[in-house]
C-alpha cells in the first residue's frame, strides 16, 4: 500500500475559485458559439447561465470525487494499515470528514436541480442573474460548512504520507531483538541487497525492508521490537499490535556473546515478551556465535535456536532455506 500519492487538500476557497473560473471560461466559449444564432438576448442569457451553474456543479463534484478516490476505503484496508490509522488519527473524524465530502456532492446536486429549473422558467434577465447568483452563494455556503473537515483531511494526509509502503499481500517476517544484536546485518545477509528504508510513524527511526526471491518480505523495526513492553507508551504498544496483523512469522535475534550490551537473561526475557504479544511463529537465531565463549554458548544451549554469524554469513543459507520452507507451508 502506498500513501505517498495522496494529493494536498485545499481550503474551501480554492475549490470555489476553481469552479467559478471554469464557469467564466466556459461562458466565453458558449457566448462565442451562439453569437451568430438567431436568438434573443433572453434566450442567450439563459443558455449561458445554465451552462455556468452546470460547470460549477461538475467542477466541485469532480474535485470532491478526486479527494474521495485518492483516500483508501477503510472497509477494504489491510488490518495493519487500519491499526495505523486508528493509532495515529481520529478514526471517527476521518470517516466523518470523508462523509462530509459526499454530503457536499449531494447538496450541490440538489441546488443545481432547483436553480436549473428556476433559470429555465425565468422570464427576465434580472431573474436569470438573480438565480445564478443565488446558486453561487449557496454553493459557497455548502463548501464553507465543511472547512474543518477539509482541514482534518489535510492533517490526515500529512500523517498518512509517513506510513511505510509495505506489500501486504506478501508473506512477511519481522526481525526482532535488542539493539546491536545484528538485525540489520542479518537482513542484508538474507536478502543479498541493501535494505529499503521506510518511515514508520511510531518511531523516530526508519524501518528497513528486504525481500527473499521477491516472494518473502523481511522487516527490521528499530525502535519497536527492541525493548521491554513496560517501557512503551500506548502508541508504541499499538504499533506492535499493528505489526501482528502484518507479520506471519518473527525472527528473534539473540547475541550470546553479549557484546550488544544486554545479558542473555535480558534478551530471552524480551524474546518471551514478544512471542506472547505477537503470538506468531518464531524462528530463534543465535548471532555472533563466533564471538561467544563456550560458557556463553552453554547458557543458550537449551534454546531451539539456529547458530549463525550474519557478519561472516555463516548459517545464512540454512536459515534462508528454513524461512522459504516455512513460508511455503502456509
Block mean pLDDT (10 aa), the chain, length 330: 84 98 91 78 89 97 95 84 87 96 98 97 94 97 98 95 85 90 92 78 72 91 72 70 83 94 92 89 93 90 90 92 83
Report how far apart, in Å, the C-alpha atoms of 181 and of each of 220, 221, 280, 281, 307 are.
12, 13, 21, 20, 13
| Interatomic CA distance for residues 58 and 42, integer angstroms | 24
Give the class (CATH, top level) of 12-160: mainly alpha
| Interatomic CA distance for residues 84 and 66, integer angstroms | 23
Would the CA dihedral through 229, 230, 231, 233 be positive or negative?
Answer: positive
What pLDDT was estimated at residue 223? 67
Domain boundaries, the chain: 12-160, 172-328
What pLDDT was estimated at residue 5? 80
Which residue reads 545477509 in cell numbers? Answer: 189
Which residue reads 502506498 in cell numbers? Answer: 2
Would the CA dihedral through 11, 84, 82, 190 be positive or negative?
Answer: positive
Single out the residue of 162, 175, 280 nearest to residue 225, CA to CA. Answer: 175
DSSP 233-278: -HHHHHHHHHHHHH-SEEEEEE-TT-TTSS-HHHHHHHHHHHHHHH
What pLDDT was estimated at residue 203? 59
Which residues on neighbouring strands pair with residue 251, listed in sequence order?
175, 283
Which residues on neighbouring strands pair with residue 314, listed in sequence order?
309
Tell me, yes or no, if the two domains 12-160 and 172-328 fold the same way. no
For domain 172-328, which CATH number applies: 3.30.9.10, 1.10.10.10, 3.90.79.10, 3.40.50.300?
3.40.50.300
- For residue 286, the surrounding DSSP H or E stretch is strand 281-286
Amino acid at each position: 500500500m502506498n500513501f505517498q500519492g495522496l494529493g494536498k487538500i485545499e481550503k474551501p476557497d480554492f475549490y470555489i475559485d476553481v469552479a467559478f473560473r471554469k464557469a467564466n471560461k466556459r461562458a466565453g466559449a458558449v457566448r462565442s458559439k451562439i453569437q451568430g444564432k438567431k436568438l434573443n438576448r433572453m434566450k442567450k442569457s439563459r443558455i449561458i447561465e445554465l451552462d455556468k451553474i452546470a460547470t460549477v456543479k461538475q467542477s466541485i463534484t469532480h474535485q470532491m470525487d478526486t479527494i474521495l478516490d485518492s483516500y483508501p476505503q477503510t472497509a477494504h484496508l489491510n488490518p495493519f494499515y487500519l491499526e495505523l490509522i486508528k493509532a495515529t488519527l481520529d478514526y471517527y473524524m476521518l470517516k466523518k470528514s470523508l462523509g462530509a465530502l459526499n454530503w457536499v456532492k449531494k447538496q450541490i446536486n440538489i441546488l443545481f436541480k432547483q436553480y436549473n429549473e428556476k433559470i429555465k422558467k425565468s422570464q427576465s434577465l434580472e431573474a436569470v442573474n438573480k438565480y445564478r447568483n443565488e446558486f453561487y452563494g449557496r454553493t459557497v455556503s455548502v463548501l464553507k460548512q465543511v472547512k474543518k473537515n477539509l482541514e482534518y483531511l489535510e492533517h490526515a494526509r500529512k500523517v498518512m504520507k509517513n506510513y511505510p509502503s509495505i506489500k501486504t499481500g506478501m508473506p512477511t517476517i519481522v526481525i526482532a531483538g535488542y539493539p546491536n544484536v545484528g538485525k540489520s546485518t542479518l537482513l542484508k545477509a538474507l536478502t543479498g541487497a541493501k535494505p529499503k528504508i521506510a518511515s514508520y510513524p511510531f518511531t523516530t527511526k526508519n524501518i528497513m525492508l528486504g525481500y527473499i526471491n521477491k516472494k518473502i518480505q523481511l522487516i527490521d523495526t528499530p525502535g519497536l521490537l527492541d525493548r521491554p513492553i513496560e517501557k512503551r507508551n500506548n502508541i508504541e504498544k499499538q504499533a506492535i499490535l499493528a505489526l501482528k496483523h502484518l507479520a506471519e512469522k518473527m525472527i528473534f535475534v539473540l547475541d550470546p556473546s553479549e557484546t550488544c550490551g544486554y545479558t542473555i537473561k535480558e534478551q530471552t526475557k524480551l524474546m518471551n515478551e514478544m512471542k506472547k504479544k505477537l503470538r506468531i511463529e518464531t524462528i530463534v537465531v543465535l548471532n555472533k556465535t563466533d564471538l561467544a565463549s563456550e560458557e556463553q554458548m552453554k547458557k543458550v544451549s537449551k534454546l531451539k535456536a539456529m547458530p549463525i554469524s550474519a557478519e561472516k554469513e555463516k548459517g545464512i543459507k540454512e536459515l534462508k532455506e528454513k524461512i522459504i520452507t516455512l513460508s511455503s507451508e502456509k
